[in-house]
Structure 1
């Protein structure tokens, strides 16, 4: 169970990094005048970060003593 959660946490963190990099590339190119793609990438990044934090919290709850 713990190993699975750690794997999911790492995957969520890597996905967050990938979305962050993609968002930065989109902004750097300057072709997204309306900012629609940038906003979508930011929303996805926040969701993936929340998912990674959720996995961390679950791991802490599973591993707490008592």
Structure 2
């Protein structure tokens, strides 16, 4: 059981990093587009992608925290 939870925790941690990188890349691209165009009307496609990636990061962090809580509960 403990091994399974560690594997799940590692996968969740990897997904956190992937989501973070994708969100930062989208942020940098949207900032570059804003600077080049000189005007901002509404949320661009890249900004929506950034928001989606950051929400995914928060979800994966919640999964990782839940797995750690389960591991602590099982240990006690």
Q: Same fold (TM over 0.5)?
A: yes
Query: What is the aligned partner in structure 2 of residue 37 from structure 1?
Result: 49
Count how many residue pairs are aligned between Structure 1 and Structure 2: 64
Using the TM superposition, give the Cα deviation of residue 58 of structure 1 relative to its aligned residue in structure 2, in angstroms.
0.2
Dislocated runs of 4+, deviation >4 Å: none
Query: What is the aligned partner in structure 2 of residue 54 from structure 1?
Result: 66
Query: What is the aligned partner in structure 2 of residue 28 from structure 1?
Result: 28
- Where in structure 1 are there 5+ consecutive unaligned residues? none
- Where in structure 2 are there 5+ consecutive unaligned residues? 35-41
Query: What is the aligned partner in structure 2 of residue 7 from structure 1?
Result: 7
User: TM-score of the superposition, structure 1-length normalised?
Assistant: 0.88
Using the TM superposition, give the Cα deviation of residue 54 of structure 1 relative to its aligned residue in structure 2, in angstroms.
0.3
Query: What CA distance in whole angstroms lies between the structure 2 residues aligned with 1:24 and 1:49?
Result: 16
